[in-house]
Structure 1
Amino acid sequence: MILPQRRARTTALTVILALALLPSPSPALAAADGERWSADLSRVDGDDVNVRHTRAGLRLADSRPAPARSPRSAVAEGIFLAPPRILTRPATRVSATVVARTVAGGTAEVQVRGWRAAGWTEWRDATGGAVFDRPVTRVQTRVVLTASRPGASAEVRAVRLAADTVAAVSAATPGLTYRVYATRIGLVGEVTANGHTIVARDHFVALPSRRGLSPANTGDYTVRVCTTTGSRCEYAPVWDVGPWNTRDDHWNLSAVRENWKDLPQGRPQAQAAYQSGYNGGRDQFGRVVLNPAGVDLADGTFWDGLQLTTNAWVDVAYLWTGSGPRGVVGDGPLNIRTGAGTGYAVRGLAARYANVPIQCYVTGQTVAGPYRTTNRWNRLASGQYVSHAYVSAVYGGTVPLC
């Protein structure tokens, strides 16, 4: 579920934000050797959520905060997603200059992500300079607008970006997997943080940080969620933000983690608050934490993928922290089987748009699917198999024969 964001600092005055480029190691180096461009804020289209463009700039389409009775959000939020930009040469840092006008509780944040062979990096705040652990060849920008009270607003007039190369920093360890507590989302008919309208028996998850939020109808950030026995798993895209917190990328190292840096890597803040009274037993908004949830599962993921009947501990693999070839599931939910044929037992599901890690492939039963007729079956990192007839694309390397 989407839960309230941290309340913005408010003033009675309108302020103009001009967030400068990161000065180190040298502004002259970035100007001379870097690449510069501006985001076209007028290109509001179907992958954007609750924003519109006017003569004054980019702003929320509906700035009314959700009513206090809503369990999902006490703030208005909008996301503008710019098209990816192909860089003229690889870069390790992207910085943003933002010109924005905010009033009484409105906020504007610019985030970027970069593409490398293994896929997209996490979203990073660009106003202080986002530094990636390895060079990226494409950059995508998004603007997140919020209004925490009636009358609050944010208008972004310009976003200027620069890409250059600096010394890289270490990111999270590849292939991170942690045991966290899962709850069920429900909320059919509601809209997720990326603009998806929830349907019955839906297949996606929510994590308590936007750093791993996929744009609508993509699996750029996919998790593998398994029961603790490993008997059932589902590969599902991250399409929502929650539960409890919205800035708790608990899978990251302390040096990278946005908040709660003193907690062990892999422990959600809600779990620490519930189990040991961390932060006085409250979340980032001051609410008493009533369960240790670190992931929310859509109904189809919960009931059909994992076959759960109640909230439970699960093992979550944050697949974008790994490496190697990835296959995009173009039609699903797709059965995950123990062998290369439809007669083998089903051990879970891969949701449509999920990006699944492929170790190698084998030949097996011929299957006619939406993309091809083939006897190729891809063995996933979990040791299970999916038919290649349902995989729309493969990226991140060449898939070898098993």
Structure 2
Amino acid sequence: MRTSRPAALAACLAVTAAIFTATLPSTAATPDPTVVSQPVAGSSNVRVEGRRIILGDAPAAIGSTKLNQRTGLAELTPVRFAAPTSAVIVGYTSGTPDGSSADVAVRSWINNRWSEWTTAPAGTPTALPGASDQVQLRVILTAPPTGGSPSVADLTVQPTDKVAAPRMSVQAAPLKSHVFATREGLVGGTTANGHVIVSRDHFVALPSRRGLSGNGSGTYSVKVCTASRCAFEPVWDVGPWNTKDDYWNPSATREMWKDLPQGKPEAQAAYQDGYNGRKDQFGRIVANPAGIDLADGVFWDALKLADNSFVDVTYLWTGDGGRGTVSISSGYLNVRNAPNSTGAVVGMAGKSAQVTVECQTTGESVTGSQGTTNIWLRVNTGMYVAKAWISAGTFSTC
């Protein structure tokens, strides 16, 4: 069949236009980097000079890892993008005098909660656990007791599409593992997030900064249980033994020790199996299999432990489920075996800690920081806390 010249010309122009359009570079503008420099509540021992964050002047303090270091932590103002992104590029320069370090990490707001912190190398795309339009940066500075102070300058963050898949994901249920617990003690010392340890304190230490809460925050909290008692506590220190052993994450995404199974601390493998020549990441011979340190109030009062022992630990931020936040000004909240103030105390929940919520029921009317109510929350089988002291939504009836 013969084609007319006008029709042929139109077809040719259409093909040419299609080819031209396909080869044109994208006109979508890449968002400019957002400058980030202001620490928020929860930061400690840092000072800001213009666009530079510098380790503060607080003296070295021994924390759970028993390392004599000066430490500063800055959680910076969250950044919101115009649209969700699955990865970001963090820009910065760092100054690290001999023996010091400057680490930058990022987390994202997903499913109404903050994800775990992920190390963000400068200028390299960092994958987020999922698409998010809000991220936050954190700077951790460490140095020997004497010498120069490390710093990070010109911090920026911008979305990118250069990473195809998220690095981590939140599982349906938070990980629970059976690990060896030791008593931290060290009253008067300073934790990795700047908290000064008091007598009968309520917090725990885990051997990775990925799950470290800011000072006074319970964003990353654990449920620690024996056969008959449970404690809900914020993660405020790093240790025992290691500082890069996020053993609660899947093996493939662990920061170190990727050949160990999920849920098994490196110290436990070193002590029980001779792993890594029986040494921790600093080359010290591991003297016990500890995977968690407990502040004295958790160890003695909440769990009634007489000696170091194995406990069941649930890492609450690693999964979904009902949550509430302990809203008290200091100390702890009693966990009881019935929805009233005369029920036996079967555990405790520290200030700012997250608690699991299975359901709610009615009981004794209580007045607390959240008002007056007769609603009690079941946080574990046979364990209740008064909702008057818990910042939380509404849950199904028990």
TM-score exceeds 0.5: yes
Go from structure 1 to structure 2 and tell me whether the alpha carbon gap of 1:35 and 1:175 turns closer, same or farther (over 3 Å shift): farther
1:313 equivalent to 2:307? Answer no
Partner of 1:141: 137
Partner of 1:224: 223
Match runs of 1:185-204 below 5 Å: 185-204=184-203
Partner of 1:244: 241
Match runs of 1:90-101 below 5 Å: 90-101=84-95
Partner of 1:358: 357
Code of the residue aligned with 2:239 in structure 1: it is G
Structure 2 Cα separation of the partners of residues 87 and 300 of structure 1: 42
Go from structure 1 to structure 2 and tell me whether the alpha carbon gap of 1:101 and 1:352 turns closer, same or farther (over 3 Å shift): closer
Q: Which has more radius of gyration?
A: 2
Structure 2 Cα separation of the partners of residues 107 and 355 of structure 1: 31
1:255 is paired with a residue whose SS is: helix
1:155 equivalent to 2:151? Answer yes
1:344 is paired with a residue whose SS is: coil
- Tell me which stretches of 4 or more aligned residues in structure 1 moved more than 4 Å: 63-67
Partner of 1:5: none
Partner of 1:289: 286
Structure 2 Cα separation of the partners of residues 244 and 376 of structure 1: 42
The answer on whether the counterparts of 2:252 and 2:258 sit within 8 Å (CA) in structure 1 is yes
Q: How many residue pairs end up in the alignment?
A: 367
Question: What RMSD in Å do the two structures reach over aligned CA positions?
Answer: 2.6
Code of the residue aligned with 1:232 in structure 2: it is R
Code of the residue aligned with 2:110 in structure 1: it is R
Go from structure 1 to structure 2 and tell me whether the alpha carbon gap of 1:79 and 1:262 turns closer, same or farther (over 3 Å shift): same
Partner of 2:169: 171
1:301 is paired with a residue whose SS is: helix
1:270 equivalent to 2:264? Answer no
Partner of 2:383: 384
Among 67, 77, 82, the residue aligned to 2:76: 82
What are the superposed Cα offsets for residues 330-367 of structure 1, whole Å, 9 maximum, x if unpaired? 02511222232223332211111111122221122211
Structure 2 Cα separation of the partners of residues 376 and 71 of structure 1: 41
Structure 2 Cα separation of the partners of residues 191 and 88 of structure 1: 39
Deviation at 1:55, TM superposition (A): 5.8
The answer on whether the counterparts of 2:51 and 2:154 sit within 8 Å (CA) in structure 1 is no
Deviation at 1:74, TM superposition (A): 3.1
Partner of 1:129: 125
The answer on whether the counterparts of 1:104 and 1:153 sit within 8 Å (CA) in structure 2 is no
Partner of 2:45: 50
Deviation at 1:292, TM superposition (A): 0.7
Q: Provide TM-score, normalisation by structure 2.
A: 0.85
* Unaligned 5+ runs, structure 1: 1-27
What are the superposed Cα offsets for residues 15-70 of structure 1, whole Å, 9 maximum, x if unpaired? xxxxxxxxxxxxx99x8355731112xx3576322222236832222387669xx9
Partner of 2:17: none
Identical residues among aligned pairs (%): 47
* Unaligned 5+ runs, structure 2: 1-24
Q: Provide TM-score, normalisation by structure 1.
A: 0.84
